[in-house]
Amino acid sequence: MSGRSLNKISILSGDGIGPEVITQALKVLTAVEIKYSIKWTIEHALIGACAIDATGDPFPEASLIACQSADAILLGAIGDPKYDNDPSALIRPEQGLLRMRKALGLFANIRPVKIYNQLLHLSVFKPEILKDVDFVIYRELTGGIYFGEKIKEATYSSDLCLYHRYEIERITHLAFQQAMTRKKKLTLVDKANVLETSRLWRSVVKELSDQYPEVTLDFLFIDNAAMQVILNPSRFDVVLCDNLFGDILSDEASVLSGSMGLLPSASKGDTSALYEPIHGSYPQAAGKDIANPLATILSVEMMLRDFGYFLEADDILKSVDKCIADGFLTEDLRPQVSFKCSEVGDKVAGLIFKNK
C-alpha cells in the first residue's frame, strides 16, 4: 500500500481447507524471502469456527490485536457445516469476518477476474465469450444491508440498507484511480430505479466523475449487470458495487475462469489490508490435500505488489503461469491427471528460484 512498508504479516488460516492453502502460500512467501534476502515477521491468529471452538468467539480480542499490529493480513477461509446447518446458532463463523472488516475499517474489496487461455476448456462459456475478459470488481465492504439494523419478530423480519455519503466517496475514489491505470472505464452497478440507496450512489459517483474526466462512466442495474457478466463479460473494466450487489456479482464472475480456486482478492482500509482467496472453506475437501492453492498464492502476489515488491510479485505470477501452462494442477482444474495441493505449493515455490 502506498507509503507503507511490509514488516509484519498476520496469518488467519481459518477453517476447512484454509490451513492447507495457507501452508502453500507460506511456502511461496518463504521462497521469496530466501531468494531476495527479505525477512517478514509472521504471527498466526484465529478466526471463524476454529476460533469459536477454541475461545467461544469467532474473532477473539487476541486476533484483533494481531491484525491491528500487522501491516498486512493473509486469510484462508471460514465456515463450518455445523453452523451452516443450524440457522438458530447465535454465534457463527461469519460474524467474525464481518466484525474484522468493521473493526479494521476494510471498506474496499477488490476482486480481479482473469482468464487463463490454457484453461478455457474448463469454463462453461464458449471461448469467444471469454476473449479479452480482464476486469476488476470494487465492492464496498462495511456498509449497506449486511451492517444495517436488523429486526426479527415472530411474523416478520427486517434488514436496513443504509449508506452514508462518505462510505460511497472513499471507495469510488479508489475505483476511479484504478480505472485511470487500466482502460479508463468504470461501470457503476446499482438499482437506482427502485432503491434510494442506489440513487445516492449514482448521484455521488456522477459528481466525483468530474474529477476523473479521462474515465468513461456508465451505469447498469444489477439485474442487467448479472446478465452482461454472462453474455458480454469483455465489456467490463472496473466495476463498482455496493456491498450486497458486489457480493453476488463477484461470485458470479468467478465462474468465468472455470474455478474459484484461481481468483485472489484484497480488502483494504485506510490503515489495514487483508488478502484472501475468494473461495470458501470447502469442508468436504478439508484434510484431503486436494484443494487448489493458487488463489491464495495469487493473494500473496497482490499483497507484495501493493507494498511495492514488484519483482517478487512478478516472480509469483511467472511461477503460477508456468504451473498452469504445464498442467501442474489440482483436481478441480485437471481431474484426469491431478496433483495434490501440497505438490502444487512445492512446485510454485520451487519455480521462484528458477525465474530470471
The candidate with the shortest Cα–Cα distance to 246, out of 316, 165, 147, 144, is: 144
Distance of CA 126 to the CA centre of its chain: 25
- pLDDT of res. 82: 86
Q: In the prediction, which pLDDT does 195 show?
A: 97
C-alpha grid cell, residue 209: 466523475
Tell me the catalytic residues.
146, 191, 223, 247, 251
Domain spanning 1-106+268-356: CATH 3.30.230.70: no
pLDDT of residue 1: 57
pLDDT at site 296: 98
- What's the one-letter identity of residue 224? N
| CB 224, CB 238: distance < 8 Å | no
**Collapsed DSSP state (helix, strand, coil) of residue 251:** helix
Produce one character per residue of 308-340: b if its CB has 16 or more CB atoms within 10 Å, e if not.
ebeebbebbebbbeebbeeebbbbbbeeeebbb
The pTM of this model reads 0.90
Of 220, 212, 213, which Cα lies nearest the Cα of 177? 212
CATH superfamily of the 124-257 domain: Isopropylmalate Dehydrogenase (3.40.718.10)
Parse the chain into domains and list their residue ranges.
1-106+268-356, 124-257
Tens digit of pLDDT at every position of the chain (356 positions)? 555 789 999 999 999 999 999 999 999 999 999 999 999 999 999 999 999 999 999 999 999 999 999 999 999 999 999 887 777 778 899 999 989 999 999 999 999 998 988 888 878 888 899 989 999 999 999 999 998 999 999 999 999 999 999 999 999 999 999 999 999 999 999 999 999 999 999 999 999 999 999 999 999 999 999 999 999 999 999 999 999 999 999 989 988 987 888 999 999 999 999 999 999 999 999 999 999 999 999 999 999 999 999 999 999 999 999 999 999 999 988 888 889 999 999 999 999 998 87
Asked if domains 1-106+268-356 and 124-257 share a fold, the reply is: yes
pLDDT for 207: 98
